Amino acid sequence: MTDTRSDLSIVAIIPLYNGARWIEQSIRSVLSQTRKPDEFIVVDDGSTDDGLAIVERLAREHRITLLCKTNSGQSAARNYAVAHSKSALIALLDQDDIWHPRHLEALVEVFKEHKGPPLGWVYSDFDDIDHDGKMVSGTYVEHPRLENPKRHLHSILRHGVIIQPSATLISRTAFEAVGGFDERLCGYEDDDLFLRMFREGFANAYVPYSTSQWRIHSSSCGASDRQTTRSGSISGNCSTLSRTICGMVITTRGT
């Protein structure tokens, strides 16, 4: 088991699928970090546009590991990259999202200073930007209904997880303890991961300011899920969540 209190190595992971329009900006936001990742992996999930060529060009100029696999979805691509890395901490970035320069520096500091139960993940607030990168909201997670950090299962299921993967830093120990992303899920697979780590007993911590930008558009990962969750509860969207989580909703209603 990796001790993240002493090993603070970080792997940055971007899954790529037909993301030619935004991938260079996302990659450059990783390269611009004040705290550089120890590993940087882009995994191409069978792209058919020019995104792969863009990454190949940047990989010749910078220390980027490019992995290629047949298309099997974002969860499988993330798991594949994690399996081909060694670092103790996992920093995910979607192909159309952007990290602010101090993203890794801010989140790894929490792991460095943490005392108490094993820390599974750290997450921050994030900016909401549109298709063209224009600001929609300078805060997303800061809401009086939402519990941050996550402490109570009922609150999570009632109001939603509301954790954007691009705004997190995840312990490899916690990630591997729950088996990584469930590759059967399409939509809410990130919420499922964080909920399983929570149920496994891993602590989490919240940074109450934005360290990244989440680009919302019609083809972005999780767009419809997040828009629904902003106004409703996670229990109202069981068709897109695993049966296990839906069972938890029913159980907690009786407690």
What's the Cα-to-Cα distance from 236 to each of 138, 146, 247, rounded to whole Å?
A: 27, 16, 13
**What's the mean pLDDT in 154-162?**
78
From the CB of residue 195, how many other CB atoms can be counted at a distance below 10 Å?
A: 24
Range of the domain at 198: 10-253
pLDDT of amino acid 233: 38
Where do the H-state alpha helices sit in the chain?
Answer: 23-31, 51-61, 74-83, 103-113, 153-159, 172-177, 189-199, 223-231, 243-253
Split at pLDDT 50, 70, 90, the class of 234 is very low
Give domain status of residue 160, yes or no. yes
Phi and psi angles of residue 12, each rounded to the nearest 5 degrees, phi first? -95, 130
How many domains are there within the chain?
1
Residue type at 198 in one-letter notation? F
Q: Which has the closest alpha carbon to 154: 231, 248, 243?
A: 248
Split at pLDDT 50, 70, 90, the class of 227 is very low
Percentage helix, strand, coil for the chain under 3-state DSSP, each rounded to 5: 35, 20, 40
Question: Rounded to 10 degrees, what is the CA torsion of 44, 45, 46, 49?
Answer: -60
pLDDT of amino acid 147: 79
Cα 55 from Cα 64, distance rounded (Å): 8
pLDDT digit string (tens) for 95-135? 999 999 999 999 999 999 999 899 999 999 998 887 776 77
Give domain status of residue 237, yes or no. yes
pLDDT of amino acid 129: 82
For residue 177, is pLDDT > 60?
A: yes
For residue 246, is pLDDT > 80?
A: no
Where do the H-state alpha helices sit in 72-206?
Answer: 74-83, 103-113, 153-159, 172-177, 189-199
Cα 181 from Cα 209, distance rounded (Å): 26
pTM here is 0.84
pLDDT digit string (tens) for 52-96? 999 999 999 999 999 999 999 999 999 999 999 999 999 999 999
Give domain status of residue 2, yes or no. no
For 226, the token pair is 């997040």
Give domain status of residue 34, yes or no. yes
Which range, of 31-35, 100-104, 175-179, 240-244, averages the lowest pLDDT? 240-244
Give domain status of residue 4, yes or no. no
Give domain status of residue 131, yes or no. yes
Residue type at 178 in one-letter notation? V
Split at pLDDT 50, 70, 90, the class of 248 is very low
Give domain status of residue 5, yes or no. no
Share of the chain above pLDDT 90, in %: 64
The CATH number covering residue 136 comes to 3.90.550.10
